[in-house]
Amino acid sequence: MAEEGQVISCHTIEAWEEQLQKGNGSGKLMVVDFTASWCGPCRFISPILAEFARRMTDVIFLKVDVDELKTVAEDWAVEAMPTFMFLKEGKIVDKVVGAKKEELQQTIMKHATAPSPAPAPAAAALATPVAAVAEPAPAADPAPAPAPAADPATANV
């Protein structure tokens, strides 16, 4: 891919769907960063993600601004930023919520080297069959969830 070694920003739904299709056909791990310009933890982790992209050219890194692509963020049930979704062959294999550099790096390494698409037991609840253009799992129960405890590594929507 021409974008190898970079974090690819998806500014339109068409660009998002195109990158998902490319990634699904590549057999590579895709790391999707759901972010927001106003999110402090997102600004903290952004240069770290860019460095990972430069070093890990066998991984596809995508960035989605939740304010630009609200429907994508809603479809993927993003509730706090940053949220990182890990996809392999169109399936969600893991998720990291928060600007947690070590956890993010460990999760990338685990799935970049793992055979595809065998999710780890801890990620089994996140694994969802996905269509040719990766589609998120249906929204959970419409009942409101209790408010999560404040976590300085995340910014709630």
Do the domain assignments include residue 53?
yes
Do the domain assignments include residue 72?
yes
- By annotation, the residues acting in catalysis are 39, 42
Do the domain assignments include residue 117?
yes
What the block records as the tokens of 102 is: 């070590």
Q: What's residue 5's pLDDT?
A: 83
Q: What's residue 49's pLDDT?
A: 96
Do the domain assignments include residue 17?
yes
- Cα 139 to Cα 30, 128, 155, distances in angstroms: 22, 12, 20
Domain span at residue 41 reads 7-134
Tens digit of pLDDT for each residue in 29-50? 999 999 999 999 999 999 999 9
Distance (Å, rounded) from C-alpha 128 to C-alpha 112?
A: 18
The type of residue at 60 is I
At 69, which CATH number?
Answer: 3.40.30.10
Mean pLDDT of 57-82: 96
Helix (H, G, I), strand (E, B) or coil at 28: coil
Do the domain assignments include residue 27?
yes
Tens digit of pLDDT for each residue in 52-68? 999 999 999 999 999 99
- Cα 90 to Cα 5, 15, 52, 128, 154, distances in angstroms: 21, 16, 21, 9, 26
What is the count of structural domains for the chain?
1
Do the domain assignments include residue 24?
yes
